[in-house]
Amino acid sequence: MKDISKAQEDIIRSFGGNKLKDHNYFPAFFNELFVFLSNKPKDEPIDPELFDIWENNKEYSGSAESPRGIRYSPEAINQIDNYFKRSDYLDINPKIKIDGRTNIVFLLGAGASAPSNIPTVNLLLPELLKRAKKIGREDLDRLAKFCEERELKNIEDLLTAAYISNFAVKNRNVNSLLKYFLMNDDKIQQKFFRSLESDASSISFLQDTLQTLFGLLASTMISAKPNQTHEEIVKFAKTHQKCSIITTNYDGCMDEAILRAGMRLKNYINEDNYFINVDDLDKLKEQQPVNLIKMHGSINWAYCDSCQGVKEFDLLFLKESYEENKLSYPVMGLCKICGGLSRPLLVPPLSFKILMFPKLIDLWNSAKEEIEKADYLIVIGYSFAEADTYITKIVARSMSVNKNQRMIVVNTDPNLVAILKDRFEAQINGFDSKRIIRLCESSDTAMVKLLRNMSASKESTEK
Ligand SMILES: [Zn+2]
């Protein structure tokens, strides 16, 4: 990554300060800025201070007494705005100051787990099908063929198909279901409903294959290890109590990093912590539990289809026994309450998921509350996918209700922030696009810088 150029430093130094002394300085500033931005190499970062000076002074461009009769066309103003908005490396050194009362919420998506070698949703299905072909199991071959015929390209589409089929079997009142889907504008749901409607045999097939699919899924995730992103978040959470972690990932990387650091997790699933060693209990009770909310379920949560019971298994115990080949995977087994079959609770991004997992309503409500009270929402490797309407809506509402909330987006896709800014500008009256800060780097390197900066700013305010 290149450093901030001397040209920028010069402009900032000569025009520095939040506000130019008066509009007489504006033409020179405008010209220098315009020339600099038009010639700037694309990968050169922009100093956020330069952006601040522009934002604080651009009103002068509308000044009627513009000296020497210089006119600033709306096109030129827009062009400068766009240079800033689209710049890949804007906000690379965000000046973020926090203190002990600052509420921080981390929102993790697939990109946060990618360095742990978990294939992204798009890669997971081809990976599973490749394995299926290798072992030559008949049920897996059928699954591969099923996906091929329906052009199912990623695991979430397949999960969606599987859940819809399951839902259709359980809810015989298909008319109301049909209405529900037709009223809903979710394209994926409509697509699958139509494909399943015409193919009754695929429903029973998917039922049979669900267990196999979940087993395969769990096996790709159970041995994944926490990466730098998870470790940095844990280090931060250790010293900053007012923080929550919300994730859409099914894997156990975040959980493992927290547990291995000797902290405990706030319990959303089990009534009791029966799996904790009694000797450790008193010690553990003293600490504040870490608030980790797994919106889409977890490989160590067992869900029973018959009684809808949910049970959490000790993640570290599961991982260890899996690695040592000691145990079969107990998440997939018999339900202790009703004797039905249980499987890992993994929720595809569907807008009707609340209907399907009533036990998760409290968990989703907690996520909503945490997001709404955040001063900083740090979004890591999460892409605000269209199918994930629930989270996208909570975040938009939160940014609208909590006017001081700022969002830091850590994502390698440089366009994501521009899209979010456009979206919020359209949805929220007078939205200040500076509330979204972009860190366009891979999460493991970006998080080290960001969280260490934040911790340092906290120490300096506490002195
Ligand atoms: Zn059951």
Most confident of 130-139, 172-181, 201-210: 130-139
Determine contact, residues 316/280, Cβ cutoff 8 Å.
no
**Ligand 1 center from residue 27 Cα (angstroms):** 72
Task: Band the pLDDT of 276: cuts 50, 70, 90.
Answer: very low
CB count in 10 Å sphere of residue 7: 14
Distance 264 CA to ligand 1 centre (A): 27
Of the pLDDT bands very low, low, confident and very high (cuts 50, 70, 90), residue 374 is: very high
Q: Residue 238: what pLDDT?
A: 93
Ligand 1 centroid–CA 220 distance in Å is: 26
Q: Distance, CA 305 to ligand 1 centroid (Å)?
A: 7
* Count of beta carbons in the 10 Å neighbourhood of residue 332: 16
Give residue 330's pLDDT: 81
How large a percentage of the chain has pLDDT more than 70? 72
- Cα of 332 vs centre of ligand 1, distance in Å, is 12
Q: Report how far ligand 1's centroid is from the alpha carbon of 334 (Å).
A: 8
> Average pLDDT of 66-89?
68
342 C-alpha to center of ligand 1: Å? 7
Find the 210 Cα to ligand 1 centroid distance in Å.
Answer: 16
Question: Which whole number is the average pLDDT over 344-371?
Answer: 77
d(CA 139, CA 141): 5
For the cut 70, the answer to whether the pLDDT of residue 253 exceeds it is yes
At which residue do the structure tokens 């509009």 appear? 23
Q: How far, in Å, from the CA of 380 to the mean position of ligand 1? A: 35
CA–centroid distance, residue 331 to ligand 1 (Å): 12
Q: Ligand 1 centroid vs 307 CA: distance in angstroms?
A: 4
pLDDT value for 1: 41
Ligand 1 centroid to Cα of residue 82, in Å, is: 56
What does the alpha-carbon distance between residue 107 and residue 380 come to, in Å, rounded to a whole number? 6
Sheet holding 376-380, edge to edge: 291-294, 243-247, 104-108, 376-380, 406-410, 436-439
Residue-level pLDDT at 353: 53
292 vs 251: CA distance, rounded Å? 13
Cα(255) to centroid of ligand 1, in Å? 25
Average pLDDT over residues 205-219: 71
344 CA to middle of ligand 1, Å?
A: 13
Distance from the alpha carbon of residue 179 to the mean position of ligand 1, in angstroms:
30
Reported as a single tens digit per residue, the pLDDT across 82-119 is 777 666 545 545 568 899 999 999 999 988 998 888 87
pLDDT band at 463 (very low <50, low <70, confident <90, very high): low
Residue 288 near residue 261 (C-beta atoms within 8 A): no
d(CA 314, CA 335): 16
Answer whether 76's CB lies under 8 Å from 423's CB: no
* Per-residue model confidence (pLDDT) at position 382: 92
**Residue-wise DSSP of 396-449:** HHHHHH-TT-EEEEE-S-THHHHHHHHHHHHHSTT--GGGEEEE-S-HHHHHHH
For residue 310, how far is its CA from the centre of ligand 1 (angstroms)? 8
Give the per-residue pLDDT at 36. Answer: 84
Q: 109 C-alpha vs ligand 1 centroid, how far in Å?
A: 30
Which of 399 and 459 is assigned the larger pLDDT?
399
325 pLDDT tier (thresholds 50, 70, 90): confident
How far is the centre of ligand 1, averaged over its atoms, from the C-alpha of 121 (Å)?
29
- 356 CA distance to ligand 1 middle (Å): 15
Q: Does pLDDT of 274 surpass 50? A: no
- Calculate Rg over the CA atoms of the chain: 25
How far does residue 40's CA lie from ligand 1's centre (Å)? 62
**Burial label, 148 (beta-carbon count in 10 A; 0-12, 13-18, 19+):** exposed
Dist. CA 106 → ligand 1 center (Å): 33
| Cα 341 to middle of ligand 1, angstroms | 7
Cα–Cα distance measured from residue 256 to residue 391, given in angstroms and rounded to the nearest whole number = 24
Residue 102 Cα to ligand 1 midpoint, Å, equals 42
| Amino acid 172: pLDDT | 53
Q: Enumerate residues 6+ apart whose C-beta is below 8 A from 356.
A: 163, 167, 347, 350
Which pLDDT value is given to residue 186? 57
pLDDT at 359 over 60: yes
Question: Tens digit of pLDDT for each residue in 7-21?
Answer: 777 877 777 666 676
> Cα(163) to centroid of ligand 1, in Å?
17
More confident residue, 108 or 274: 108
Can you give the pLDDT at residue 351? 52
Lowest mean pLDDT, pick from 2-6, 72-76, 302-306, 385-389: 2-6
